[in-house]
Amino acid sequence: MSINPIDLSIKPDVKAFFDLNTNTISYVVSDPTTKACSVVDSVLDINYASGQITYNHANEIIEYISSNHLTLEWIIETHVHADHLSAAPYLQDKLGGKIGISKKILEVQETWGIIFNEGTDFQRDGSQFDVLFEDGDVYKIGSLEAFVIATPGHTPACMVHIIGNSAFIGDTLFMPDGGSARVDFPGGNAEDLFVSIQKILSLPDALRLFMCHDYGPNGRDIRWETTVGDEKAHNIHVGYGTSKEKFIKLRTERDASLAMPKLIIPALQVNMRAGEIPTDEAGRPALKVPINKL
């Protein structure tokens, strides 16, 4: 894979939206010249106990886009999230835009389609999304050029989206004191994640990196922006030139101690459908709970 030239002089406007319930950070990335924008990793609110869906987080994003007279061109998923539900269809219905994700979504749909015992009505061809990106693809947000790098490991469909001096890296890395993403979900792989992280660390040191999650390790305030240079120097899992063997051992042992995300059951069923909620035999919104499958 050849990395597209990165122009650090190009500075998109980046507005972050933190969701306290899922520790997710969503972003509106906009072109200062044309006012075109993209939303990265949106969140749909769910009360899992009651099955109630609300739109507070998405509405905050919509209000920001509308009040700043932006035009939504893209709704980007950096991967199929296991810890929150995507608000992509809701945003698209209100503001338009194309929903994009890695073409490796087909692998995710096949794997989780079996786990959730989805029937033939569930298409496993990625057709729920408007655009399926492949490694190295380029797209435009107004006059801004964006390009994608495949970064599998956490999931097969993880991708980094680079726009000027800014990169949106999903769950591949966390802030330096947070380390890296888990790899123990079906389709995850520690060696693949290490290779993907090296791709990110090979980018210019000054490139801004924007996280999808932050949990405030050791009680610090929530943060979501760092740089390639900071990650190389200080990341507790891969900084200081950590070897592949040491990383795999650390990551595997750590994952064995982690609980499943509380929203993994609804999140994967919804997100592998580009944010659409599945229905039961009567056509009513409904979710399945597979027993002893995870």
- The distance between the two most distant Cα atoms of the chain, rounded to a whole number of Å, is 56
The pLDDT value recorded for residue 3 is 56
Kindly state whether residue 231 falls inside one of the protein's structural domains: yes
- Here the CATH number for the domain that contains residue 19 is 3.60.15.10
Kindly state whether residue 268 falls inside one of the protein's structural domains: no
Q: What pLDDT digit, counting tens, does each position of 191-221 carry?
A: 999 999 999 999 999 999 999 999 999 999 9
Q: Please indicate whether residue 3 or residue 246 has the higher confidence score (pLDDT).
A: 246
The pLDDT value recorded for residue 4 is 64
- Segment 115-131 shows an average pLDDT of 92
Please list, in sequence order, all residues whose beta carbon lies within 8 angstroms of the beta carbon of residue 292, skipping any fewer than 6 positions away.
none
Which structural domain range is residue 22 located in?
13-260
Kindly state whether residue 132 falls inside one of the protein's structural domains: yes
Q: What angle do CA 109, 184, 251 make, to 5 degrees?
A: 140
The pLDDT value recorded for residue 184 is 95
Kindly state whether residue 227 falls inside one of the protein's structural domains: yes
Kindly state whether residue 292 falls inside one of the protein's structural domains: no
- Segment 43-60 shows an average pLDDT of 95
What is the residue-averaged pLDDT of the chain? 95
Cα(72)–Cα(62) distance, integer angstroms: 9
Kindly state whether residue 106 falls inside one of the protein's structural domains: yes
Lowest mean pLDDT of 64-68, 134-138, 287-291, name the range: 287-291
152 within 8 A of 103, measured Cβ to Cβ: no
Cα(212)–Cα(214) distance, integer angstroms: 7
Kindly state whether residue 63 falls inside one of the protein's structural domains: yes
The pLDDT value recorded for residue 1 is 45
Kindly state whether residue 280 falls inside one of the protein's structural domains: no
Q: What pLDDT digit, counting tens, does each position of 237-282 carry?
A: 998 889 999 999 999 999 999 999 999 999 999 999 999 999 888 8
Tell me how many domains the chain contains.
1
Q: What single DSSP character describes residue 214?
A: -
